Amino acid sequence: MRSGPAPESLPEGLRLPRSRTAGPGRSTVGPEGRLRGHALRANSIIGRDLAVDLGTANTLVYVRRRGVLLDEPSVVALNDSTGDVIAVGHEAKAMMGRTPDNITALRPLRDGVIADFEATEQMLRHFIARVHKRRYFAKPRMVICVPSAITPVEQRAVKEAGYQAGARRVYVVEEPMAAAIGAGLPVHEPTGNMVVDVGGGTTEVAVISLGGIVTSLSIRTAGDQLDAAIVAWMKKEHGLMLGERTAEEVKITLGSAFPSPGEPEGEVRGRDLVTGLPRTVIVTTADIRKALEEPLHQIVDAVRVTLDQTPPELAGDIMDRGIVLTGGGALLHGLDERIRHETGMPVHVADNPLVSVALGAGRCVEEFEALQQVLITNPRRF
């Protein structure tokens, strides 16, 4: 094959076009690389996309390409005189039950939905500012997790809180779908996947197949109700008044859903309802299990009802693959054994149950185009 003429032999006035990738000071990046660079610069100006697990007990924020950067209690401390936010997250939770008259430490979400809109908006704004340091004009896209039984009004309140907190676009994903994606279940395959997400305010039970929820049930019995059951039992059996934080600590250390050998016992401190003085009582794990019986029965019953509504083909898949437990409630000792005993199904606890929902919502942010079908989106009405 004949080679073309050398540049020196070209006629005068005719020159080869100069390569854009050569020469001093020239970038060796092609058109695709330049477009990617422009996109990254635009992303840094606009703000990285976020996924928010706006939970009753804890709020987790996942930042695109960086993972879960924030995991704080959903608690806000406000100055009643000025309306200013004094503290948010761990700092505010430490104030609960210990505040003077002019300070209120509150949880702006109850039963998985917004109870105090302004406090929720301020809390979200604070958390976004914490992960977007020195980006005053950051306007990220945001994916927020909501309970599957949320009403249109409650859903709109969640989205509006996201917009008010500084998002340029807010998408919503149902918690059981996010939990299944975060637990690594093959949600897009034609096979049945069952997830039980026991959170702080709600328990979500869902069967998922082909990227959609086939049947689901959301009940407002979860971690908060377990705490309340311990408070009520201690009041009835021992005449002792406990605070929310103490009840939660008792649940974590002594809580149990199914008998096991070598169960511990512990001291519980509270206020005597008769004398009004502080008092300590010793309780066993069996006592606390008795206190938790009613809310635990409701959670197991929700699993039973969902299985009853599941199509037979998918029920067969679940029998093979098992039920996956996620959420903070999955860490309650013996809950997996209790559900296995009551339903006869294999039960597995997710590898990282506390962050499963946030990781699933984060996957929606990372693979936005591929997972957009699982998002609920409605254009904002101004």
Query: According to the model, what pLDDT value does residue 360 have?
Result: 94
- Supply the DSSP string of 49-112, one letter for each residue: -EEEEE-SSEEEEEETTTEEEEEEES-EEEETTT--EEEETHHHHTTTT---TTEEEE-SEETT
Query: According to the model, what pLDDT value does residue 24 have?
Result: 45
C-alpha angle with apex 187: 185 to 193, nearest 5 degrees?
A: 65
Per residue in 220-278, pLDDT (tens digit) is 999 999 999 999 999 999 999 999 889 999 999 999 999 999 889 999 999 999 999 99
Query: According to the model, what pLDDT value does residue 135 have?
Result: 56
Query: According to the model, what pLDDT value does residue 377 have?
Result: 56
Per residue in 116-156, pLDDT (tens digit) is 999 999 999 899 888 876 555 567 889 999 888 888 898 89
Domains in the chain: ranges and CATH: 46-75+110-177+358-376 (3.30.420.40), 188-350 (3.30.420.40)
Handedness of CA 144, 217, 345, 191 (dihedral sign): negative
Query: According to the model, what pLDDT value does residue 136 have?
Result: 55
Per residue in 4-53, pLDDT (tens digit) is 444 444 444 444 444 444 444 444 444 444 444 444 344 444 457 899 99
**Which residue type sits at 256?**
S
